[in-house]
Amino acid sequence: AQSVTQLGSHVSVSEGALVLLRCNYSSSVPPYLFWYVQYPNQGLQLLLKYTSAATLVKGINGFEAEFKKSETSFHLTKPSAHMSDAAEYFCAVSKDTGRRALTFGSGTRLQVQP
Amino acid sequence: DTGVSQNPRHKITKRGQNVTFRCDPISEHNRLYWYRQTLGQGPEFLTYFQNEAQLEKSRLLSDRFSAERPKGSFSTLEIQRTEQGDSAMYLCASSFLFDRASGNTIYFGEGSWLTVV
């Protein structure tokens, strides 16, 4: 079985500060890992994905994440937060076999203070 | 490519009524997924199709729920005899099974909000 744990349901940063959203995964097989962002009343937009190529993955809007197998982590970072980054962020895991459906974490709401 | 399209975006219904949601996936995507998301939670897998075949249903999908994808293109999710606990956002997503380059990327629609009163 696969699962992800997102540490911290709410994270608040100041505009211009570093953003760090934590995600740890559990998987019996090499995982595919994803970060999605959800703005209010909207669907999910893919930020970035790890598919066993480079361990440091760059995504849209200046976000990046590093896959660390030894720590079973896939934390999302952005050097400088913008007000427009305020949203809900979901980490998700899938396998490369079977239904390949995503298993999501419970989400982290990012607030950006002016 | 217009993305995954879902209709209606919002539906308010009385308890006991039936509702149906439609999903149009990205063109040529052979996999289609339905998820449910309640407030403050991540999306939960409900079911998925490969072409027209429904390959798996979650235990979350009670007998009142039925999903179809008759021609391997659009899909419908019907909820019969709605209950207040069915209030949630229903998300549709699609992917192309054989596109390893995309890394199993699943693309989501905007979701259909259901409120049962």
**In the predicted structure, residue B103 carries a pLDDT above the cut 60:** no
Which chain A residue lies closest to B31 (C-alpha atoms)? Answer: A99
The 3-class secondary structure across chain A, one letter per residue, is CCEEEEECCEEEEECCCCEEEEEEEECCCCCEEEEEEECCCCCEEEEEEECCCCCEEECHHHCEEEEECCCCEEEEEECCCCHHHCEEEEEEEECCCCCCCCEECCCEEEEEEC
Of B42, B97, B107, the CB nearest to A90: B42
Residue A10's pLDDT band (boundaries 50, 70, 90)?
Answer: very high
Mean pLDDT of A50-66: 90
Residue A107's pLDDT band (boundaries 50, 70, 90)?
Answer: very high
Q: So what's the pLDDT on residue B87?
A: 97
Residue A101's pLDDT band (boundaries 50, 70, 90)?
Answer: confident
Q: So what's the pLDDT on residue A104?
A: 93
Mean pLDDT of B80-89: 96
A113 touching B (Cβ < 8 Å): no
CB contacts under 8 A, A 5-24 vs B, are 9
Q: Which of A78-82, B43-47, B101-105, B112-116 has the lowest average pLDDT?
A: B101-105
CB contact under 8 A, B106 and A90: no
